[in-house]
Structures are given as structure tokens and as C-alpha cells.
């Protein structure tokens, strides 16, 4: 049985990938990678979800069996990395726009 979150993750990843591959606008390409990253974060969080689980906060937990917080830790790390990468790609897009006055990826090519 395929549960709904996993199906949603795969759909969002394909949307992001198609944006990266087929879009011509540089900002939309950056948005594409950002969408893939969010989909994978969603995947990680839904992997870590346990029905009726207890959040791993020692002082506030009703009992000692708690959820392993690894997926959440992974998600946080991946969000931070995604932020850095997106910021950098957008700054490249700004530089490209300053030099060529356009964000269309077909407008210029490096010399062959």
C-alpha cells in the first residue's frame, strides 16, 4: 500500500525536476531545486512520523519510549543547506542579470 504523503512527495519531486529541466527563466530553475528540496524534507518528516509517538523532549515527556529524532535533525540540516544553496544561486542570477540584462537561459551561451 502506498500512503498519501509518499505519493505527494513523488509528485512534488517530479514538478521540481520538470521545472529545472524545462524552464528557461533562471529564477524558475532555482525555484525548481527549492521545490525538490522541500519535497525531500517532507519525505523525511513523514518517514519519522509515528502514530501516537512521544516527542523526544526529556523534561516534558509522559513516558520514556520516545521517537528517535534523527529524521527531524536531518530535515533541519537539509533546510539550512538548501537555504545557503538557494541564496547562492539567486546571487549568481543577479550577477547574470546585471551583465546581460535578461534572465532567459537561451539568450546567451558560453563560447563553444
Partner 1 sequence: MSFIVEHGPALAIAVPLMAAFATPLISRAGGRLRELWAVLCLAATLVIVVMLSMDVLSSGVRVYALGASIPSLTSPGGFPIRIVLEVDAMSAMMGLISVSIALLVCIYSTQYMKKYQGLDKFYALLLMITSAMLGLVFTGDLFNMFVFLELLSVSSGALVAFYMGRGEPAEAAFKYVIISATGALMVLLAVCFLYGQYNLLSIGALAGVMQFTFLDKIALVLLVSAFALKCGAVPLHMWVSDAYGEAPVPVTAVLVVVSQASLYALFRVSFTLYGAMATISVIGWAMIILGILSMFIGVTLAMMQRDIKRLMAYHAISQTGYMLLGVGVGLAVIGDVGALSSYGMTAIEGGLFHVINHAMYKGLLFLTAGAIIYRTGTRDLNKLGGLAHAMPVTTCFFIIGMLSIAGLPPFNGFSSKIMIYESVFMFSPVLSIIAILVSILTLASFVKVFQSAFLGPKRREYKDVKEVPVAMLIAMGILAFFIILFGLLPDLAVQWLIEPAAKALLNQLNYVGVIV
The contact set with partner 1 (CB under 8 A) reads 13, 17, 20, 26, 29-30, 33, 36-37, 40, 43-44, 47, 68, 70-71, 74, 77-78, 81, 84-85, 88-89, 92-93, 95-96, 99-100, 108, 110-111
| Three-state DSSP state, 46 | helix
Please identify, using beta-carbon distances, which residue of 8 and 93 lies nearer to partner 1.
93
Please identify, using beta-carbon distances, which residue of 22 and 100 lies nearer to partner 1.
100
Q: Smallest Cα–Cα separation from 27: which of 78, 81, 35, 42?
A: 35
- Our measurement of the distance from residue 84's CA atom to the centroid of its chain's CA atoms, rounded to an integer in Å, reads 12
Rounded to a whole number of angstroms, the minimum distance from the CB of residue 74 to partner 1 is 6
12-26: b (≥16 Cβ within 10 Å) or e: bbeebeebeeeeeeb
d(Cα 38, Cα 33) in Å, to the nearest integer? 9
Rounded to a whole number of angstroms, the minimum distance from the CB of residue 61 to partner 1 is 18
Rounded to a whole number of angstroms, the minimum distance from the CB of residue 64 to partner 1 is 14
Please identify, using beta-carbon distances, which residue of 54 and 74 lies nearer to partner 1.
74
Amino acid at each position: 500500500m502506498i500512503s498519501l504523503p509518499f505519493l505527494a512527495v513523488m509528485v512534488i519531486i517530479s514538478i521540481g525536476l520538470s521545472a529545472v529541466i524545462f524552464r528557461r527563466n533562471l529564477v524558475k530553475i532555482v525555484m525548481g531545486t527549492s521545490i525538490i528540496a522541500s519535497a525531500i524534507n517532507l519525505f523525511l518528516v513523514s518517514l519519522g512520523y509515528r502514530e501516537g509517538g512521544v516527542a523526544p523532549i526529556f523534561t516534558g515527556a509522559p513516558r520514556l519510549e520516545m521517537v528517535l529524532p534523527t529524521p527531524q535533525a536531518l530535515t533541519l540540516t537539509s533546510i539550512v543547506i538548501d537555504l545557503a544553496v538557494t541564496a547562492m544561486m539567486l546571487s549568481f542570477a543577479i550577477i547574470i542579470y546585471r551583465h546581460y540584462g535578461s534572465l532567459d537561459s537561451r539568450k546567451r551561451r558560453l563560447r563553444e
